[in-house]
Amino acid sequence: MNLTNKVVAITGGGQGLGRAMAVYLAKKGAKIAVIDIDQEHMEETCRLAAEAGGEAASFVCNVAEETQVEETFSAIVQQMGGLHGLVNNAGILRDGLMVKAKDGVISKMSLAHWQAVIDVNLTGVFLCGREAAVHMIEGGEGGCIINISSISRAGNMGQSNYSAAKAGGASLAVVWAKELARYGIRANAIAPGFIATDMTAGMKPEALEKMTAGIPAKRMGQPEEIAHTVAYLLENDYVSGRVVEVDGGLRL
């Protein structure tokens, strides 16, 4: 796909990896539909995308809410003239051991924490992927969907909810690659390792230091390194149904 004047929607585009993707793709001439629950953050993303020479518009939407997602994707197509790419990037963390015990059980991961992560990181990916596919099929120009999974999809301690959702996102990309190829739509996933954003800045410093020491590259990734991979997957028309690992060589 040549990105010039193509409409690419990015969920969770208000900050972090989503913002880096918006700016990177705007530089390549894409028109960015930024989707997030945080209007103020989205406005800053749109400003930076415009500064990079591109065009961007913001759409307030909770990706876990079916009606909001349906309305948002219709609005994007109407306002921006089509839809060619989607990056399912919105995500949250609610980490904790499933069961914590010391001389007896101390705590359990709450159903609320389980459900919140599944709602945003898995149901949100399904809903946005589904609506994007509807509009891409109707548009008749094909398209490309990218799910932002995680190295945690392999199963990370303290992340029952997150690991399950991220494994699901990777698997959905494979399903969609098979189901949607007949319409000229590709689907892939990216599994980032530890990337320097607010999400990882929230980790305890000791945990962060220990984790960085274990990365063969001996550093965290930069948001632009994920944005670069997003551009590659959008642009290369023969890559589909794959999970690209961008993790400095780390294995969990």
Ligand X SMILES: NC(=O)c1ccc[n+]([C@@H]2O[C@H](COP(=O)([O-])OP(=O)(O)OC[C@H]3O[C@@H](n4cnc5c(N)ncnc54)[C@H](O)[C@@H]3O)[C@@H](O)[C@H]2O)c1
Cα 143 to Cα 165, 182, 219, 249: the distances in Å are 24, 11, 34, 30
Token pair belonging to 37: 């629950």
Assign 91 to helix, strand or coil: coil
Q: How many residues are there in the chain?
A: 252
Residue 162 appears among annotated catalytic residues = yes
What whole-number distance in Å separates Cα of residue 209 and Cα of residue 190?
Answer: 24
Binding piece for ligand X, criterion CB under 6 A, among 37-45, 126-134, 136-144, 179-187 = 37-45
Three-state secondary structure readout of 145-213: EEEECCHHHHCCCCEHHHHHHHHHHHHHHHHHHHHHHHHCEEEEEEEECCECCHHHHCCCHHHHHHHHH
Applying CB under 6 A, among 21, 56, 64, 187 the residue interacting with ligand X is 64
Q: Minimum CB separation from ligand X for residue 75, in Å?
A: 15
Applying CB under 6 A, among 90, 127, 128, 144 the residue interacting with ligand X is 90
Nearest to ligand X of 181, 196 (CB atom): 196
If one asks whether residue 14 binds ligand X (CB under 6 A), the answer comes out as yes
Binding piece for ligand X, criterion CB under 6 A, among 21-29, 87-95, 99-107, 131-139 = 87-95
Greatest distance between any 2 Cα atoms in the chain: 61
If one asks whether residue 41 binds ligand X (CB under 6 A), the answer comes out as yes
Q: Which of 24, 162, 183, 232 is catalytic?
A: 162
The count of chain residues that interact with ligand X, using the rule CB under 6 A, is 29
Binding residues for ligand X restricted to 212-241, rule: CB under 6 A: none
Nearest to ligand X of 5, 67 (CB atom): 67
Would you say 176 and 145 are in contact if contact means Cβ atoms under 8 Å apart?
Answer: yes
Nearest to ligand X of 90, 146 (CB atom): 90
**Contact pattern for ligand X over residues 195 through 214, marking x by CB under 6 A:** x-xxxx--------------
What whole-number distance in Å separates Cα of residue 212 and Cα of residue 119?
Answer: 29
Q: Could you give the residue numbers annotated as active site?
A: 162
| Residues near ligand X (CB under 6 A) | 11-12, 14-18, 36-38, 41, 62-64, 89-92, 120, 124, 148, 150, 192, 194-195, 197-200
